[in-house]
Copies of this chain bind each other. A is one copy, B any other.
Amino acid sequence: MKKSLLSMILAGAVSAPLQAADWQALPDVAPAPKDNPTTQAKVELGKKLYMDPRFSSTGTVSCNSCHNVMEGGDDSRPTSMGVHGKTGGRNAPTVWNSAFHSVQFWDGRANLLEDQAKGPVANPVEMGMKDVETAMERVRRIPGYKAEFEKVFGKDGMTVDNAAKAVAAFERTLITPNSPYDRFVKGDKTALSAQQQRGMEKFAATGCTSCHSGAAFNGPKMPFGQGFYAKFPTFSDNDYVKKYNLMADKGREEATGKAADAHMFRVPTLRNITDTAPYFHNGSVNDLGEAVRVMAKTQLNEDLSDEDVADIVAFLSSLTGEYPQITMPRLPATKGTSILVQ
């Protein structure tokens, strides 16, 4: 059905979905929870904590190690590598525009960036600390952090929750507006090439927008904590499922224990998708065109032509926006001693 609809659209038989779809530009500012307004001082503190590797057991892994803001907000690896070269089971989601997700992690097991930030610290294959409080003890032992926490959170402000708030505040500034797509939907009709516009039509007509809608292409706007999930794969009777091992990870079921959540994953943003290979929760596909082909088949039971794939990839390339310049923070020193040595 969808396929014939696509053919009809391309033949001009029905109105193109460019108008029909609800194309939205990326907001310049990310929403923040009421109890954690984004302030400059908080962002600066959060940036330091985000970049500081001293809160991992080995002193070698920071948030930025796997969610590198100098790159696409991830690490270019199929699955991330934490302390002692250990690897996790899932592909690092990009931190760019993560503020536009209403839940965090592939399985939505954290509601807010504030909750997410605490997870990797104590994960044995990520930052490998005994627990997040032990990491916070290290923060407290670094004199330079004390003044900053007090400035932002007041006296006795050096808590895990406040550290997470600061990191989340920094992450909410990691937004990439003004992509060619954004300029196009704001009225600059020259911002997309003819092929990209064809790809945009095909993206909608194929049905990709049924999940990848909204400003971040990660589904409709939801309240924080309410996730937008899709079953992946939805159609499992195809060669891709075996080839890319798509049934191994139970997705949200692993977080909730509910059979109904089997293979449910949060719909990821497609913003800057050109810069976040390899793709999928298991990082099994290392080509954006192949990822498009696999998604069309496993989610919509569509077999895309090479031309369709090329056009959609061209459109997806238009979602790569402007990364803001970030000044490197100076991480507060422990004068004359290292916090990593007992």
> A69 vs B333: C-alpha distance in the bound complex, in angstroms?
12
Contacts of A203-258 to chain B: CB distance below 8 A: none
Given A326-B327, A328-B328, also A340-B76 (CB < 8 A): yes
> 1/0 per residue A180-211: CB within 8 Å of B?
00000000000000000000000000000000
A75 at the interface (CB under 8 A from B): yes
Interface string of A311-342 (1 = CB under 8 A from B): 00100010000010111111101111111110
Pairwise interchain contact A328-B70, C-beta atoms closer than 8 A? yes
Partner of A337, one of B71, B286, B330: B286
User: How far, in angstroms, from A265 to B51 measured CA to CA in the complex?
Assistant: 32
Asked whether any CB of chain B lies closer than 8 Å to the CB of A154, the reply is no
Give the contacting residue for A327; candidates B283, B328, B337; CB below 8 A: B328
Residues 69-97 of chain A, each 1 if its beta carbon lies under 8 Å from chain B, else 0: 11110011110010111100000000000
Asked whether A24 is an interface residue with its Cβ less than 8 Å from the other chain, the reply is no
Partner-binding segment picked from A9-17, A98-106, A271-279, A300-308: A271-279
Interface: A298 (CB within 8 A): no
How many angstroms between the C-alpha atoms of A81 and B83 in the bound complex? 10
A51 / chain B contacts, CB cutoff of 8 Å: 70
A331: contacting residue among B71, B273, B278, CB under 8 A: B71
Interface string of A32-76 (1 = CB under 8 A from B): 000000000000000000011110001110000100111110011
Q: Is residue A122 within 8 Å, beta carbon to beta carbon, of the partner chain? A: no
Whether A288 is near chain B, meaning CB under 8 Å from some CB there, is: yes
* CB of A244 to closest CB in B, whole Å: 13
Given the contacts A336-B289, A337-B277, A65 and B72 also touching, CB distance less than 8 Å: no
Is A133 in contact with chain B by the CB < 8 A criterion? Answer: no
Interface status of A287 (Cβ within 8 A of chain B): yes
| Known contacts A76-B54, A274-B336, A338-B277; A70 and B286 CB within 8 A of each other | no
A60 in complex: contacting residue of B72, B75, B278, CB < 8 Å: B75
Check B329–A274 contact: CB distance below 8 A: no
Task: Pick the residue among B59, B286, B323, B339 that contacts A330 (CB under 8 A).
Answer: B323
Closest residue to A71 on the B side, CB-wise?
B331
Q: Are A60 and B78 in contact (CB under 8 A)?
A: no
What residues on B are CB-neighbors of A86 within 8 Å? 85
Contacts of A287 in B (CB 8 A): 336-337
Q: Can you list, as one digit per residue, whether each of A257-294 has a CB less than 8 Å from chain B (1) or not (0)?
A: 00000000000000001110110000100111100000
Rounded to whole Å, the gap between the CB of A321 and the closest CB of chain B is: 12
Give A285 Cβ to nearest chain B Cβ, in Å.
9
- Cα(A84)–Cα(B58), bound, Å: 12
B327–A71 CB distance below 8 A: no
Can you name the residue of chain B whose Cβ is closest to the Cβ of A75?
Answer: B59
**Do the beta carbons of A278 and B338 come within 8 Å of each other?**
yes
Contact yes or no, A286 B60, CB < 8 A: no
- 8 CB < 8 A contacts A-B: A58-B85, A59-B77, A60-B65, A70-B330, A77-B340, A85-B86, A274-B335, A286-B341
Nearest 10 CB-CB pairings of A with B: A288-B336, A84-B85, A286-B341, A277-B338, A275-B333, A76-B338, A274-B335, A85-B85, A326-B328, A76-B340
